Amino acid sequence: YTYSVAGTAPCPSDAATVTVTINTPPDPGTNGSVTLCTTDAAVDLFTLLGGTPDAGGGWTGPNSDAFGGLLDPASDPTGVYTYSVAGTAPCPSDAATVTVTINTPPDPGTDGSVALCISSPPTSLFMELGGTPDPGGSWLSPGGSVFGGVFDPLNDPSGTYTYSLTGTTPCPSASAVVEVSVVNVPFPGDPGMLDLCTSDAPVDLFGALIGGPDPGGTWTGPGGAFSGLFNPGTDLSGIYTYSIVVPPPCLTVSSTVTVMLNDPPDAGIDANLILCISSGPGDLFPVLGGNPDAGGYWSAPGGAAHSGTFDPANDPPGLYTYTVPGTSPCPAVSAVVDVSVLGLPDPGTPGMVTWCTTDPPSDLFALLGGTPDPGGTWTGPGGAFSGTFDPASDAAGVYTYTLSVPPPCLSQSSTVTVMLNDPPDAGTDGTLVACESGSAVDLFGSLNGSPGPGGSWNDPNGDPFSGIFEPGTDQDGTYTYTLNGAIPCPTDVALVIVSTVTEPNAGVNGWLNLCDVGSPADLYAALGGSPDPGGTWSAPGGGAFGSTFDPTSDPPGTYHYTVAGQAPCPDASASITVSVLSDPDAGDPGNLTLCRNAPVADLFNALQANPDPGGTWTDPNGVLSSGVIDPLTAPSGSYTYVLSVPLPCLNDTSFVTVELISSPDPGSDASWAFCETDPPVNLFSLLGGSPDPMGTWTLNNDSVNSLLDPATALDGPYLYTVEGISPCPDLSATVTITISSLPDAGSDGSATVCPEAAPVDLFSLLGGTPDGGGSWSDPNGDPHSGLFLPSIDAQGAYTYLVEGDAPCPDRDATATVGIFLIDAPDAGPDLISCALEADLSATGNWINGSWSGPSTLTWDDPTSPLTRVSSTTPGTFQMHWSIVTLDGCASQDSIEVTFTDSIATSTSTVAALCHGYCDGSVSVQASGGNIGGSGYQYIWSTGAIGSSDSLSALCAGNYSVTVLDTNGCSNTVPFEIIQPAPLAIDTVISNDETCPGSCDGMLMVVDPEGVLFSFDGGSTFDPDPIFSPACAGIHEVVMLDPNGCIAVTSAVIASPSPVIAEFVAQPDTVLVSVPFVQFINQSEQASWFFWDFAGLSSSELHDPSFSFPDVLGGTYEVCLTAIDGNGCMDSICHPVVVLDLIAVHVPNAFTPNNDDINDLFMPVFNHPELVSEYELLIFDRWGELLFESTTPHEPWTGRYQDGSVQQEVYTWKLVYKDLRSFKKEALFGHVTVLR
């Protein structure tokens, strides 16, 4: 285009041009979309754009990555693909999108096959598919009918079962098949049982199976493979299994024959037994040879029943028979033990003795108790021993007396225990001489020899004494030490003779002043106290002295008086200090001026002109004084010094005038601290104590004013000095002054920040020049770091405090921080969507805002608070709505949106193992939804809730389960648990007890399904179906099959009527003269009888009789053992009393010589209580009556009148009546008196 301008002459016109180029804007086409299956072929997305898009543009994928434009559904993701075409300037670029949805085709798995047994439980065909089939499909049976998917071999037909899944458009449906075949099972028969003896002939076990078993099977026994022909003599008892093998999947079927073997009874081998009469009762059973069976019964040599325990003291020797009944069909057998019994000697009973080592030797045999037999040997602690014990040389201990006897009796022995005690040793007599002022003495040390400790003491009066002698307190005399001996040793005694010596007394030291012209003086009289006379004197040089001091010739000094002590008391001494004076000189008066704080002073030093010592002082108040004064407490004034001497010398007196001056008081030291802003203060007021005024002040030796101004004064020690009056020195006290500067916290400051601003250093907000090192506190007064964090800390005044050095106060300033108030945006509530899109709604005030989140999310308008968001995948995603406020502050709010796929579910069940058992189970297969890391939640119709996809312990019945994902999206599916028919025991065979209480019954369960059996109600289980031996009664039988299913029944073991042994004796009391008794048998249920007549005889008659042969009478125990045909027995015993008649024994000689041996003569009756009308007469050869008695057992002593009869033969007559037989007897005889 040309622009022309005409020129003004003479200027020519002029022109310019504008060249215009018009570009066409780019055309990317219009948005498109497509849904594909992952199995589809690759697609050129350009063909899916609407309109007439320009070629040559570029593609980006859902993640904004560059993309070639050719989409492969098998590998590329679902999402929005963008086609962009660049514009030619000034035309802008433009873009269009293709939204791609890719669906996965269904996977029914691969074809499978399964072979099942007709007896197999229902099976899920889904588990038989190959690969990883998707759940949720449907099944068709071989005929094309709808099928549930669980195959029951007992009811469903074999064939091809088809599993189909419907595809999501455009993916096609898919299917797979399972070929099912069913196999039948043969019959092995029902279990049987055989009860055999090991001596029986071989038996074919096939004939013991019940119910017509199929042939062709094989046998296994307790030892492994078995032929089927059972030989009782060599094969084992137990369960023999008959098995018929069938093709898989059926399991081999089997049945059993339980074989019980009864070994023939074994009574063992005959044996001999030799016992000692002293042996204890012993069991005869272990004596038998071989391996006899227990449970048999014994009979004694006469055939009587016997317990099997032989008592040598009571049982007769002989053949004892052991019989073992056989378990049908095995017969009973027996063996014998031939028993012999030997007697024993008597070694006496043990004795004991205690001797002292000083006792004489003794024979130990006499110490044995009882009536020991002689001829034995002795052993002691050291070995063989003679039997004579010497306490002085033999050892204490146990000495054994042994009588040897032949086997099997053991040697018999007894013991004498000898204990020895040593005699006590109290030592030998001693003496003790003690000083009356000496310390206490232990008298034990004064004993001689080697006295033993632990004795007791007595004083001279015989009273108990401690043994510790106190001189001056305890009396002199003989003290006795007694040491008791252990029985039988006697006590020992020793003496200590004690005497006490008085300590000498030399009197008390003294002082004696004599005049040099005076008369001689006796020094003894100058001693204090009560000195003993007779001592000796020594002069100052140590020489002897006569006790009379002559002042004109003897030298002054210290004279010693000594009194000699008697051992063990030491010497005693005292002294007299003698001064010899001419007329004494108390010196000239003196003056003494002292400061009150001076040390103590001796006034003698203040006297003038060399005064003599030894005088006495009195103070100004006339009080006697030592002459040494303490200026702090002594009074001022005149102190008097007096020298006293004996006549004819004259006393002398002098004086000391004492003046005491008070010392100055500057007060006590003190320390003070001031702040530079404190007012002036007078230093005098800072001193401690009560200082004197008018002193002077110095600082570092420079004079200073007493008024201290902290604003200008220096730190340091201020010295206060008070001048003293002579002789008192000047005194000082110090006041130490410390002056501190005032701290500077700066001036207040402030600032306002955005909530998201960077941290603010509050110190930088203070004005002035604040001191560092202070501390911060927040608006609530709590400690703070000084770094303000807008996102955390509260707005307000933050205080900066600088501590002052005492006594200066702390100073503070504030930094006030404000935060722009932001109306925070609200991104809306968190959302859960059971789809892959959700609507957003943010609210609030802002200049601008935008949404952000993961790349899998797409917003219809990211800058709009009201928009829709879509997700390419399920899950929970966080997204943010971010804004900028009018103050330029940023803010945001976040929400979580959960996107969910639909949930697909199927179930697999396992039937209850046993009828009535609640052990069924189910598992759930779930897919889809949004489960996150926690998995699905399952709500079961049983009330259970949890994350487990399976449930067990289910009873038979109909149930349902609801599957929930973490978003609360759910799907519910029903299912059923089935159960088998109840288990029952086929047969229980029982055998009753042989005898009541014998507990030899038997129960046997016959049921092929049983594997464990209990006959105690289920307390214990065993694989053996036989319970033996068993007691009579009702038994609860429990059976478990291989699955643990329980069947319960009851079985009865009966008991036969008991054998009752009983009899009566007619009569039950007889006399020895007629000892015949008839026995009437009243036993029940018995067919064989054995009588034992107190071991005197026996009988097997039903009603026997017996005459007791004992002429002395007694009580006899008669026992009856009754036995039935099964060997069951019962025994009972009753006493039979055989009464004695009177018997009398009359001796034919006696020796009345008073030696207590055979001194008396009298008839002796066996039952004196039955004697009446008694009379004993004794005559000499001439018929003279010497003795008469009417009292049984009254003896004749061999005396007549007042003398003893002569050695001679005398005649006696005895008359008495028997109160049991009522017969009267008269007897005559002779008795010889021996002297």
Answer yes or no: are the C-beta atoms of 1002 and 992 closer than 8 Å.
no
What is the structure's pLDDT at 873? 86
Asked whether 35 and 170 are in contact (CB, 8 A), the reply is yes
- CB burial of 600-614 (b: ≥16 within 10 Å; e: otherwise) equals ebebbebbeeebbee
Look at residue 366 and give its three-state secondary structure: helix
Question: Cα–Cα distances in Å, from 75 out to 67, 107, 109, 928?
Answer: 13, 18, 21, 21
Strand partners, 927: 904
> Which residue in 228, 294, 236 sits closest to 260, CA to CA?
236
pLDDT value of residue 487: 83
Contact call for residues 485 and 493 (beta carbons, < 8 A): no
Question: What is the phi/psi pair of residue 603, to 5°?
Answer: -65, -25
pLDDT at 648: 65
* Measured distance CA(503)–CA(488) in Å, rounded: 48
Angle at 974 between CA 969 and CA 976, to 5 degrees: 150
CB 378, CB 401: distance < 8 Å:
yes
Q: How far apart are the first and last CA of the chain?
A: 199
Contact 522, 502 (CB under 8 A): no
Taking the CB of residue 7, how many other CB atoms lie within 10 A of it?
9
The pLDDT value given to residue 1110: 65
Q: How many other C-beta atoms lie within 10 A of the C-beta of residue 770? A: 20
Residues of the chain with pLDDT under 70: 247-249, 328-329, 647-648, 932, 1110-1112
Q: What does the DSSP 8-state code read for residue 411?
A: P
The dihedrals phi and psi of 470, each to the nearest 5 degrees, come to: -105, 105
SS3 (DSSP) at 95 = strand
For residue 1111, what pLDDT is reported? 64
Instruction: Specify the pairing of strand 749-753 against strand 811-819.
Output: parallel
- DSSP tag of 774: -
What was the pLDDT predicted at 149? 84
**pLDDT value of residue 259:** 86
What element of type H or E holds 921? strand 920-928
Nearest to 1120 by CA among 1100, 1138, 1106: 1100
Collapsed DSSP state (helix, strand, coil) of residue 116: strand
What pLDDT is stored for residue 127 in this prediction? 86
pLDDT of residue 924: 94
Question: What per-residue confidence (pLDDT) applies to 1196?
Answer: 94
**Angstrom distance (rounded) from CA 814 to CA 311:** 116
Per-residue CA distances from 375 to 155, 345, 365, 944 (Å): 102, 10, 11, 96
Per-position b or e across 533-544, b if 16+ CB within 10 A of its CB:
eebebbbbeeee
pLDDT for 404 equals 83
Q: Are strands 521-522 and 548-549 parallel, antiparallel or unpaired?
A: antiparallel
Q: For 441-571, where are the E strands, in sequence order?
A: 441-442, 456-458, 464-465, 468-469, 477-483, 492-501, 510-515, 521-522, 536-538, 544-545, 548-549, 557-563
CA distance 585 to 611: 5
CA dihedral 675, 677, 679, 680 (to 10 degrees): 70
List beta partners, residue 468: 442
pTM of full prediction above 0.75:
no
pLDDT at 1112: 66
Looking at residue 1053, its pLDDT comes to 93
